[in-house]
A and B are shown apart, each in its own frame.
Chain A
Amino acid sequence: MARFAIRRIGSMILVLFAVSVLTFLIFNVIPNGDPAVRMAGKQPTATQVEAIREEWGFNEPIYTQYAKTMENLFSGNMISYFNQLNVVEEIWKGVPRTFALAFGAAIIWMAFAMALGLWSAMKAGGKSDTLLNVFALIGISMPVFWLGALMNQYLGFELTQVLGFELFPNGGYVEFSNSPFEWFHHMLLPWFALSILFIGFYSRVLRANILETMDEDYVRTARAKGLSERRVLIHHVLRNSMISVVTLWGLDFAVVIGGGAILTETVFNLQGVGQYAADAIGQLDQPPIMAVTMFGAFFVVFFNAVIDIVYAALDPRIRLEAGDTAT
Chain B
Amino acid sequence: MSETADRPVSDLDAFSDAPAVTVGGSGGASPWRLAARRLRKRPGALAMGIVFLVLVAVMLAAPLYARHVADTTPYENHLSDQIEVGGETVNVVGFDGVPIGPTWRGKFLLGADSNGRDVAVRLLYGGRNSLLIGLSAALITTVLGLTTGLLAGYFRGWTDSVLSRIMDVLWAFPVILLGIALGTSLSLGGLKAGPVEVSGGSLAIPIFVIAVIYVPYLARPIRGEVLSLREKEFVEAARAQGMGPIRLIHSEILPNVISTGLVFFPLLVANAILLEAALSFLGAGVQPPEPSWGTMIDEGVERIVTAPALAIVPGAMIVLTVLSLNVFGEAVRDALDPRAKVRIEH
Contacts and interface: CB of A to CB of B under 8 A. Distances in A.
A281 B283 contact: yes
13 contacts: A19-B172, A19-B173, A31-B190, A32-B189, A38-B189, A137-B327, A137-B330, A143-B278, A143-B297, A145-B297, A278-B282, A281-B283, A293-B178
A284 B188 contact: yes
Contacts of A177: none
B186 A31 contact: yes
Contacts of B189: 31-33, 38
A142 B345 CA distance: 13
Given A149-B297, A260-B174, A281 B284 contact: yes
Given A27-B185, A142-B322, 16 more contacts: A31-B191, A32-B190, A140-B326, A143-B294, A143-B318, A149-B311, A258-B174, A259-B176, A262-B177, A277-B177, A278-B283, A281-B184, A286-B185, A289-B181, A296-B173, A301-B172
A300 interface: yes
Contacts of B284: 281
Nearest to B293: A143
Given A18-B168, A19-B169, A30 B185 contact: yes
Given A146-B297, A259-B174, A289-B181, A30 B318 contact: no
Interface string B299-310: 001001100100
Closest 9 A/B residue pairs (Cβ): A31-B189, A146-B315, A259-B174, A259-B177, A33-B189, A32-B192, A141-B322, A141-B323, A18-B169
A198 B92 CA distance: 41
A214 B301 CA distance: 46
A146 B330 CA distance: 24
B152 interface: no
Nearest to B281: A145
Which of A143, A145, A262 has most chain B Cβ within 10 Å?
A143
Interface residues of A, number: 52
Given A32-B192, A125-B8, A281 B282 contact: yes
Which of B165, B180, B345 has most chain A Cβ within 10 Å?
B180
A63 B133 CA distance: 35
A150 B180 contact: no
Contacts of A143: 274, 277-278, 281, 294, 297, 315, 318-319
A302 to B, nearest CB: 10
A292 interface: yes
A291 to B, nearest CB: 11
Contact of B180 (A145, A289, A301): A289
Interface residues on B, range: 35 or more
Contact of A277 (B165, B169, B180, B305): B180
Contacts of B308: 153
A26 B172 contact: no
Contacts of B36: none
Given A27-B181, A143-B278, A32 B197 contact: yes
Interface of A: 14-15, 18-19, 22-23, 26-27, 30-33, 38, 125, 137-138, 140-147, 149-150, 153, 157, 255, 258-260, 262-263, 266-267, 277-278, 281-282, 284, 286, 289-290, 292-293, 296-297, 300-301, 304, 327
Interface of B: 8, 164-165, 168-170, 172-178, 180-182, 184-186, 188-192, 197, 270, 274, 277-278, 281-284, 294, 297, 301, 304-305, 308, 311-312, 315, 318-319, 322-323, 326-327, 330, 345
Interface of B, secondary structure class, is: helix
A15 B191 contact: no
A178 to B, nearest CB: 27
Given A38-B185, A297-B174, A141 B312 contact: no
A137 B323 contact: yes
Given A143-B277, A278-B282, A300 B174 contact: yes
Contacts of B319: 138, 141-143, 146
A285 B301 CA distance: 22
Nearest to A34: B189
Given A26-B182, A125-B8, A138-B319, A263 B270 contact: no
A260 B184 contact: no
Contact of B191 (A18, A22, A32, A327): A32
Contacts of B323: 137-138, 141
Given A137-B323, A138-B323, A143-B278, A149 B301 contact: yes
A292 B185 contact: no
Contact of A300 (B172, B184, B326): B172
Contacts of B311: 146, 149-150
B283 to A, nearest CB: 5
Contact of B185 (A31, A144, A282): A31
